Amino acid sequence: MVKKTTLKDVVSFEGVGIHSGEHAKAIIHPAEHNTGIVFKKGNHFVKANIDNVVDTSSSTSIGDGIVYFRTIEHLMASLYLANIDNAIVEFIKGQEVPIMDGSALEIFKLLENNYEIQDFPRSYGYLSNVMRVLNGNSYIMAKSSKTIDELSISFEGEFGSFLKTQNYTYNTKLGKPTIQEDIISSRTFCHFKDVEYIKNLGLAKGGSLDNTLVLTEKGALNQEGFRHIKEPVTHKILDLIGDMYLAGFRFSANIYSYMGGHTLNVKFLKEAIKHIKVIDMEEVIAV
Ligand code: ZN
């Protein structure tokens, strides 16, 4: 798809925020071709853009100094994967994106095939340099992709206990439907041994087995178990896709993340933007 899109039909969703524990309700509206993704509360409009990121400690939050919107990454990934370029996300109640079932599945289903094509070319950010960004032991390496509309994301992580090392690759050009389904359905996860520590930090007030995959030494604490065995690593890719959409365009790059989280994702994005050439899809087909 080379044209920009917006939503065809307004959708709404509601539920508890995983960190605040507060109930929130949001409506997603169609928007003009040059809007991008914008969050709204009352008279405040905050663009989902790297410059408006205010916190990455446990989830990704954006704000304007007065209002801020928390845990936006799964919604951003849903909009990206559902091919939506322009939309306004209006909060009627609360300011944290509801965690739903811990994955992007429920919101994605509202957006899937619910787009309207706008008569403007879609922009891709083509990465022209090889780069490496570090944050402690974690790092992201990136290089150019072969074609303008290709994004490849590989993630490797150490998930402890029985899972050990997991890796997974998402590629827009080699996309078997199952790969996208694995990523969209993968839930937020944590280790059982960290639950008390996380709660003591005042985080995950809305966290429960209904919205979090809890890993033990032998498997999952959740009665239904894993949705698929690579659920932790595919969830990390979901988070990265959501964070990368804060660039305001679709990335064209080949990316490898080792143990990256929101802080590294945003650090990478800020650096990558310096090496990006934004290209309209209608102008250039391949490089
Ligand atoms: Zn997540």
Cα–Cα dist 188/211, whole Å:
7
Residue 101 falls inside a structural domain? yes
Residue 200: predicted pLDDT: 82
CA of 39 to the centre of ligand 1 (A): 19
Helix axes 231-244, 177-185, angle to 10 degrees: 90
Residue 163: predicted pLDDT: 87
pLDDT in tens, 221-273: 999 999 998 999 999 999 999 999 999 999 999 999 999 999 999 999 999 99
CA of 61 to the centre of ligand 1 (A): 12
Residue 285: predicted pLDDT: 46
How many residues are recorded in the chain? 287
Ramachandran angles phi, psi of 195, nearest 5°: -60, -45
Residue 285 falls inside a structural domain? no
Nearest to 252 by CA among 138, 197, 173: 173
Residue 76 amino acid letter: M
Q: Token pair 């997974």 is at which residue?
A: 168
CA of 75 to the centre of ligand 1 (A): 10
Nearest to 276 by CA among 240, 248, 252: 252
Cα–Cα dist 221/243, whole Å:
28
Residue 16 structural domain: 3-280
Describe the strand order of the beta sheet including 53-55 as a list of residue ranges. Answer: 53-55, 61-63, 68-69
The domain tally of the chain equals 1
Residue 79: predicted pLDDT: 97
pTM beyond 0.75: yes
Kindly tell me the burial class for residue 34, based on how many C-beta atoms sit within 10 Å of its own C-beta (0-12, 13-18, 19 or more).
exposed
Residue 286 falls inside a structural domain? no
CA of 5 to the centre of ligand 1 (A): 25
Residue 180: predicted pLDDT: 87
Tokens of 127: 């990465």
Q: Domain with 202 in it: what CATH number? A: 3.30.1700.10
- Residues carrying an active site annotation: 262
Residue 274 falls inside a structural domain? yes
Low-confidence ranges of the chain (pLDDT < 70): 1, 175-176, 282-287
CA dihedral 145, 173, 84, 154 (to 10 degrees): -60
Nearest to 260 by CA among 227, 223, 235, 226: 235
Residue 287 falls inside a structural domain? no
CA of 142 to the centre of ligand 1 (A): 21
Residue 34 falls inside a structural domain? yes
Residue 186 falls inside a structural domain? yes
CA dihedral 59, 7, 147, 176 (to 10 degrees): 80
Please count the helices (runs of H) and the strands (runs of E) in the chain: 6, 19
Tokens of 117: 């094509």
- Calculate the alpha carbon distances from 284 to 123, 189, 249, 280 in Å: 10, 40, 16, 7
